[in-house]
Structures are given as C-alpha cells and as structure tokens.
Chain A
Amino acid sequence: MKQALFVVGVVAAVATWPVGAATLVRPNYDHVDTSRWRCRLCPFDLATRNEARVEAGAIHVDDAQPRFGRDNGLDRAGPHAVLNADLARRDADGRYTVLEGADLSLDARQARLSTGRRGHHDIALQWHEIPHNVATDARTPYTGYTFLALASAGDRAVDLGTRRRKHEVRARLEPTRRVRLQARYGRETKTGTQESYADVLYRATGLPKPLDFTTDALSGQAVFTSRRLLLAADFGRSRFRNALPALEWQNRSSQRIPAGRVALAPSNTADTASLRARGTLGRATVSTRLNWGDQRQADALVPYTTNTGVDLDPPARPRLDGRVRTFASSTRVVGRLADRVQLGLAHRLEERDSTTPRLVLTPVLGDAFATSRRPNRAYDLRRQQTEATVRFFPSRHLKLNLGARRHERQRAPLEIAGNTERSHWMAAAAEMPNGLAMSLKVVDSYRDATAFQATTRNNPLSRRFYQAAREQRTWRFGVDYGVSPRFAMGVDMDVRTTAYPDTALGVLKERDRGWGLDFDYSPVDAIVVSGFYTSHALAATTAGSLAFAAADWLYDTEDLTGTTGLVAHARGFLHRDLDVQVTYRQSIGRGRYATVVSDDRRTFPKLASDHRAFEIEATYRWGQRTSIVARWYREDYAGADWALAGVTPSTVANVLAFGRSAPVYTNNAVGLSFARRL
C-alpha cells in the first residue's frame, strides 16, 4: 500500500514534466458561433418514434442432446416455441422506455426493461436464465439430496447440469452534468446437480452433488467528471450463500464406516471499495485505480469424520472465521516526450493478505484413521509489475514500440517464495497507402526463482511450473491486405515457447502455436462472403520419477484444434424482399498424449472433439411490417475420450464411476417464425 502511494507520487511528479500533448487532437471551439443554427431540416420526430417488434414461431429439434442444448435451452427433443419481443417508446423530452425480451419461451430467456430520461436518470430491470446441460447418460446407484443412499433397485439415470437465474436492478441518477450516481442490486441463483467424486479410504464414488447457491450483490458508484479531472468512488458487497453445507453418502463397501461426508462450498461475503482518478497533469494524462477487498467466511466446520470409531476432540474453533484482505492498484502515465515519441509508464500492485486464524487440526484420512496434526493452509501473495513503453513514429506509415516490464511475485509459505520476471519487447506496425498492413511483435522474458525450500513431501528435484524459473519467447506476426474494394484478406501467426531451465521434474517445456487466415469477399453489392481458419496447438513435456530420484519417464502432451468458419450473406433477392445467410462452422480438436518410459513411447488412443454445424437462415419481407424467418440448423458432433471410453460404473477398480460417454450425435433444428413491426 505504501509502495503504491509512493509510485503514485512518483508518477505524479513525472507527469508534471513539460512534455507535449498526450491527447493528440483537441478540437478548437474558440470561434464557434451557433446563434444562427436552427436545424430546420433535422427530422427530430425520428427520435420520438415508438417502435415495437414481436417474433413468434416454433423450432423443432430432432433429438435431446445435452451438448447441443448445453447453453441455449434447446435440450429437449420436439417442438420449442420461439418468442422474442422488443418495445421502445421515446419522448421528445428524452424520456424513454425500452423492453427487450429474447428466447422468452426457452430456458435461456432474457428480459430487460429500462426506463428513464436520458442524461437525468435511468432504471433498468433484468432477468436472465442460463442453462448448462452436461450429461443425461450418467448413472448412479444413489438416491437422495444431501444424504445419498444406495438404492436397492440398482442404477438410475441422473441428469447433470445447472441452471443460473440472474435478476438485476440498476438505477442511475445524474443530478448535474458533472456528477453521476449509480446503484445496482443483483441476485443470482444456481441450482442443479454437478458431477463430483469422493472416496472412503481409497474407494471413490461418483456423487451427484446438489447445488443451491444464492449470490446477492449490491454496489454503488459516484463519479465526478470535468474536462481535466475524473474522480470515481465505488463500493460493493457480494454475499454468497450455499444452502447445503455438506453432502453425505452411504459407503458401499464397508459397514465399519457407514458413510462419507464432504464439506461443500462455504457461504462467504466479499466487500470491495475502489477509487479511480484520471487527470491531466502538466500535459500528460495520469490514470489510477485503487481497490480494496475484504473476503470472509465463517461457516461452521463439520466434524472430522463420520466414523464413530475415530475418537478425536473437535477442532479448537467451531468455525474458521477465514478472512483475506486484498489490495490492488494500477497507475499509468502517458505523455509525449517529443513530436514523434510517446512514453508510457505503468505500475500495478496486487496483494493478498490472509488473516485467517491458525488452526491445528488432526485430519482423518478417508474417514478411516487419524493422521498427524498439522495447521490449516492459508497463503499470502504479492505481485508487483512495473512497465515502461516507448512508442516511436519514425514515419507516417510506421510505428515502433519498445517496452520493458519487471514483474515480481512473493508468496508465503511456499517452496519458491518469490519470482522476478523481466520482459522486454519490440513491436513494429506498418500501414501502407495501398491497403497493406503488417505487424510484428517479439517478446522475450526471463523469470528467476528464489532458492527452493522443501515444505512438502514432493520430490525435491521437482519444480511446480507456475513457480519455476522459466524462459519465454513470443512471436506475433500479422498481415492484412485490402486487395481491392471487394476483397480483403489477412494472415496471422502467434508462437510462444517456454522452457523451464532449472526444472528436473515437472513441466520441462511448453509450446503454444497458433496461426490463422481470413478473408472478406463481396463479388457484388448484395453478396458478402467471409471466412476464416485458425489453428491452435498447445504442447508440453512433463518429466516424472517413480523412484523419488531423477526423471525416468516423460509425458508428451499436445492439444490441437483447427477451426473453420464460413458465412455467406446475400441480400435483396426476389424483388429485394429475401435475405439469405448460410453459415458453416467446423472445429476439429485432437489430443495427442504419449508416455515415454525408457525410450519406449506409448501413445494414448483417440481424444477428439469434432464439431460441425451448418445453418441456413432466410428472411422474407412480406409487406411493410411483416417478415417470415425460416431456419435450418444441423450440428454433427463426435467426441472421443479415452478417460471415458468403456468406463461403466463397475469398470474401474475402487471407482464407482458415472459411466457416461463422450457425446456423438447428429441433430437438426428447423424453425419458422413470423416477425412483425407494430
């Protein structure tokens, strides 16, 4: 905090240097004379026109597929109603009322009502439902809600998925032109059943975990704005409540331990406060943001175990009273050092200070036997980043950018208590008068690590990849070319290589490669065709040791995805009344995983996610106010996952799995709707 204030002071001092204008062009209003401006030709009646549009119809879906209807509400086979509505009333004095409703007949419905007077006050109410369907083919022998009992009738199907319902009200008041006050209250509920697992003494069980979450969020904001200064203060409180503190399940394998119990997410509260300011100091722009946070949870702790055979005193405190304070600051100053040179300085600080009480506990392993006493785990974190950038404009069509960044991290208590990462980059962008634009950016960074201190029973040769020393280089390259007014194309490439030079065990290296191309083509005015292809490959090599010594095995992992998109849009057929849009999307994903032990390379079988979708949408304008919209959407999906293939509830020793498989389907949705402007 003190350091952040110090940096703010330094930045402020730097900002008062007599540098050139940071805002490049400020319009000159010194000689405006509007005394004879009448605006007689202005059609102001357009601004007060009331509008309404209603769309109603039906969509028929072939098959019930959770992935197909994962987030859109089309998760049932058969007909679904289509209902969308928009109404708007706008008055001459700036008052307005807008009602927008989308997918009102589906589980993914959204509705928003906003009303007020522009520039004076506004109030908005919003309703939004988000389904998230995961699986309908999961099977479990359990029944119940917070106590899962083994059913005598054998397995039953269980739907895995959640549903969020968000309600929100916002109000805004602008008492003067320079002051704005705003308040927001939102409530979000999340219910459903989530896939989870837990074990009793190494015998794991798939648990259909019920969810009953409610999050209330209240926030307020006051903003003062003038030509040279902006000040804003925000506060917020978010209160999360979980109605289900624990989940118990009947142990299927031992009468001695009749049930297991897991703790579910604890209810918690988070308060935030922030200040923002932006000002012009000297002739530079300075912006800063300070955030304070306070997160607390005080849920009652559940007992150590369900096993009455384990005799332990309860924890010293009935609840954790966990508390974390956070602070984040961000300050940036931008100024023009000379006609062709712009300088930017930025500093960012993030602190996480855990004041959670220390509690010495005696965990019971798998509800079977007590282990040694140990304190709970709470972490402090501090990240500090300082960055300087210089932008240089050597010519009208060329921009160069040089930058350097120092990023420090401190953590406690962990094996590597600190990292310092130094990065520097060079970027060039050229835009030629013939429509050719090119850009290149190269970033080099090196992260060192403090001395390793063994705080766990991990092999001391291993380094956790997010703490380890690393060398990273990133290349980005892009070309865009407007070949003609009717054809434009672009190519881009992005390669990042990471090596962990001090790591003997753990992730040794990573590669992230992407490239893509895209085009837009308009053979005639009424037809536009756009397409793109992107390829993304994410690879890593990880070393391990079976013998608590040097590396004796490797994993080579690579996830590749190629995505193609093609959209053709034709307007104005059939006497200019028919528009047609054809869309094709394809995403082919592959996971290439291999194990290498003593030069013997063994490759895992197919891991795939192949998504293909084709859509035709035709809109026919039938008269001045009515349109008919016809849609056909077809989606083919073929997933393959060796972790799920052939796994039934009883396949894996010591694991009672859900037995669900990777989805494979073809599904069609055909829709017809009528839209009418009222």
Chain B
Amino acid sequence: MLGCNATSIAKYLRKGRKRRLGSFFAVAFSVAAATGGAASEYAHDLLVAKVLVGDYSRRGADTCLGCHDEAEPFPTLDVFRTVHGHPAVPGSPFETSREAALPAGLQCEACHGPAGDHARSILPDGVDREPMVNFGDRANASPALQNGLCLACHANYERAHWADSAHEAAGLACADCHVVHDPVDAVRTRDTQARACAACHRNVVADAFKRSAHPMRDNQLVCRDCHDPHGGGTEALAVESTVNETCLGCHAELRGPFLWEHAPVVEDCGICHLPHGSNQPALLVRRAPQLCQGCHSSVGHRSFALDPDDLANGRASAFLLANACLNCHFAVHGSNHPSGNLFRR
C-alpha cells in the first residue's frame, strides 16, 4: 500500500497554488499520459507535483544517507565513486563550491527530486513512504519526468538535438541506457557498450555474426563510433552530417573526388551495403553479379542470365565466379585512372 493518495497530491496542489499551480494540471496530465509500466498513477502524479512545487529537504543528503547506506537492499554509496558524487567537480550534484548553480549541489535531490514528506515521519510497518523519483529497473516515473531531471544539468552540446530525436520519440529515459550510481557506466565503456544497446537492438547483434560484418563482435567498432544516440539531426543518427560522411571517416580512401565517379557511391553507401552485417561478402545487399544487374542491363555480359551451369563444375563463368563483375570492374567506388571509365583501371 502506498503512503500517498489523493490527499497527498492535494497537499502539493495547495502549495503549488502559491507558486505555479497554473502549469500543474497541464504538465501533470501530459507527463502522466506518457507514463508506462505499472507505475502507480497516484505515485506518479505525486512525483510530478513534488518536482514542480520544489519542497526540498532541510538537511540534504544527510537526511537520505541516514537510511540509505550500504545495508540497504539498493546500496547508494557507489555514487560517491563517480563524478556525480564528487564535491569538487563543477556542476556535480554534490558540488560544494560557492559558485555552484542549481541544480548543482542539490545532492541526492538533484536527481531524485525534492524529498517532500518522504523522510518526515515514522511509518508503521507495511506502509510505504512518499515516493521519490527512481530510475532504471525501479523507475516509477515517466521518461519525461526522469529526463527533465537529467537534462536540468545535461542539456548540453551532446544533447542539443535530443528533443524529438528517435530515442526520445521512442519514450526512452536516460537511465534506460545509463547507470549513474555505478562507477562504470556500461554504455559509455567500449567493451560493454554493444551489450547495452543490444537490449533493444538485438537484430543488430545478430548482424554482427553474419558472414561479413564490421568488427563489432570484438568491440573494435562500437555503436557510438557511427551513431549518436542522443540525435544529431541526421539520418540514422549518424555521427557526421550525412551517412556517407560517416562512412568516409574511416574509409577515407573512397572519398575522391574521382576522375570517374560511380553515381550510387556518391548518393548513398547504403544502396549497395548493409552497414551492420550481411550474408554476402563485403556487407553487400545482394551478391555480385545479381546486385550489379539490378542497374546494368545493356547488351553484352551485363545482360546474361547467369545460372548454375556457369559454376566451376560447369562452364566456369568469369562473370559469376571469384569476384564476378569485380574480376574486371574492380574500381566500383570510383577510378582516378584516365582509362578507368568502366572502373577497370
């Protein structure tokens, strides 16, 4: 049984009336509308009300740590191993500098919201305390409420395009990917990042095991090398301004500009390649010659219907075996040779 009910919310509404009650109904409803899972409606409305009213504790973290120590089921003290718990890091919730600008220095309540009545009374057994904002597996608030607290500090360069980005629109909370209390945030560590992203993107994990793939299995290339999960205003959350520029960051040898350009290469690498992995060599959408014949159909070998008779045990066609079309037209990404008009030089 929750220790909060409509009376509790009304209490915050009364306080809010003196402050910014006008926005409460709109915001509370909107936030609640986006609420998911089994979060109690009452609890959620109460959390929104608490955050909007701003009823912070009188003693800060000393109030919290009186109960929430390492003996608790959910140990909290590891946060002091991180930048969030460092007193000398500018902007940290535990910053003690006089220059600290709120919410820096708001200690536990910077992230978990104002304490309100959470710690004000001794409750009988079986009665839960007034809720605080929780994150991650124990989240009891909507992504909008959770993210509002994170973005109070982190609305910086990296999050410049977060609003309405793919992950924001999908209703992700920051803490769905990030872990704050742990000294190691798995999604920011190369060795473990792919595992964190795979919680949702399992098909990409599967692609890494296909015949050809970028070196993702061994974390030589990680999701963040190509994608900006916070949204960069780009297609496919690419880290550079276009998909092609993202690819050319590592494959600079294909940048050209070439004497003889190949039109689809200029337009979009994804026309021929599947970036995460393919059942065919070189991350190809289909294998050559079938892929090439999707465009090239002039009379001559480009119009041959190559069939199993042309394999090594039959007529052993040069147009089908080894590198197929690329046996001769190897320079499909562009040629800088004066005789390279057919990508053969």
Contact = CB atoms under 8 A, between A and B. Distances in A.
Interface in A182-202: 188, 190, 195-199, 202
Interface residues of A, number: 214
Contact of A213 (B55, B253, B320, B331): B253
A540 interface: yes
- Chain A interface, DSSP helix/strand/loop, else mixed: strand
Contact of B264 (A334, A348, A466): A466
Contact of A263 (B242, B245, B337): B337
Contact of B54 (A20, A29, A542): A29
Given A30-B54, A381-B266, A602 B286 contact: no
Given A36-B59, A94-B88, A278-B163, 15 more contacts: A21-B26, A28-B51, A71-B218, A108-B220, A190-B253, A213-B253, A272-B245, A293-B245, A344-B164, A366-B344, A379-B266, A379-B267, A587-B206, A644-B321, A644-B322
Given A242-B253, A266-B256, A458-B298, A27 B321 contact: no
Contact of B304 (A238, A320, A330, A546): A546
A565 B209 CA distance: 11
The 6 A-B pairs of least Cβ separation, nearest first, read A431-B36, A330-B233, A37-B60, A553-B305, A119-B90, A28-B54
A554 B293 CA distance: 11
Interface string A597-631: 10000111101010100000000000000000000
B311 A299 contact: no
10 contacts: A27-B148, A93-B88, A230-B156, A230-B157, A263-B336, A322-B257, A377-B261, A393-B33, A435-B37, A559-B280
A598 B170 CA distance: 49
A287 B233 contact: yes
Given A458-B297, A548-B303, A199 B327 contact: yes
Interface stretch (A149-157, A353-361, A445-453, A572-580): A353-361
Contacts, number: 552
Interface in B158-200: 160-161, 163-164, 169, 171, 190-191
Interface in B125-169: 142, 144-145, 148-149, 151-152, 155-157, 160-161, 163-164, 169
A58 interface: no
B72 interface: no
B54 A27 contact: yes
B2 interface: no
Contacts of B307: 595, 597, 602, 604
B14 interface: no
B51 A27 contact: yes
Interface string B70-98: 00000001101111011111111010100
B308 A595 contact: yes
A377 B260 contact: yes
Nearest to B253: A265
Contacts of B268: 466
A591 interface: yes
Given A177-B99, A339-B30, A652-B318, A132 B215 contact: yes
Contacts of B324: 643
B80 A536 contact: no
Interface in A335-380: 336, 339-340, 344, 346, 348, 350, 352, 354, 356, 359, 361-367, 371, 374, 376-379
A272 B239 CA distance: 14
B53 interface: yes
B328 A322 contact: no
A204 B318 contact: yes
B245 A204 contact: no
The winner among A297, A401, A563 for most chain B CB atoms within 10 A is A563
A41 B280 contact: no
B34 to A, nearest CB: 6
Contacts of A555: 290, 293, 305
Nearest to A206: B322
Interface string A384-425: 000001010111110101000000010100100000000000
B33 A340 contact: yes
A188 to B, nearest CB: 8
Contacts of B23: 21
Interface string A90-122: 101110000000100000101000000011100
A642 B296 CA distance: 22
Contacts of B4: none
A361 B4 CA distance: 82
Contact of A334 (B54, B164, B279): B164
Interface string A30-67: 11111011111111101101000000000000000000
Given A431-B37, A559-B278, A389 B164 contact: yes
A345 B133 CA distance: 31
A266 B336 contact: yes
Contacts of A560: 279
Contacts of A428: none
Given A204-B318, A651-B321, A31 B54 contact: yes
A213 B148 contact: no
A50 B91 CA distance: 23
A36 B107 CA distance: 13
B31 A28 contact: no
A138 B105 CA distance: 63
Contacts of B20: 28
B279 to A, nearest CB: 4
A437 B295 contact: no
Interface in B266-308: 266-268, 271, 278-280, 285-287, 290, 293-299, 303-308
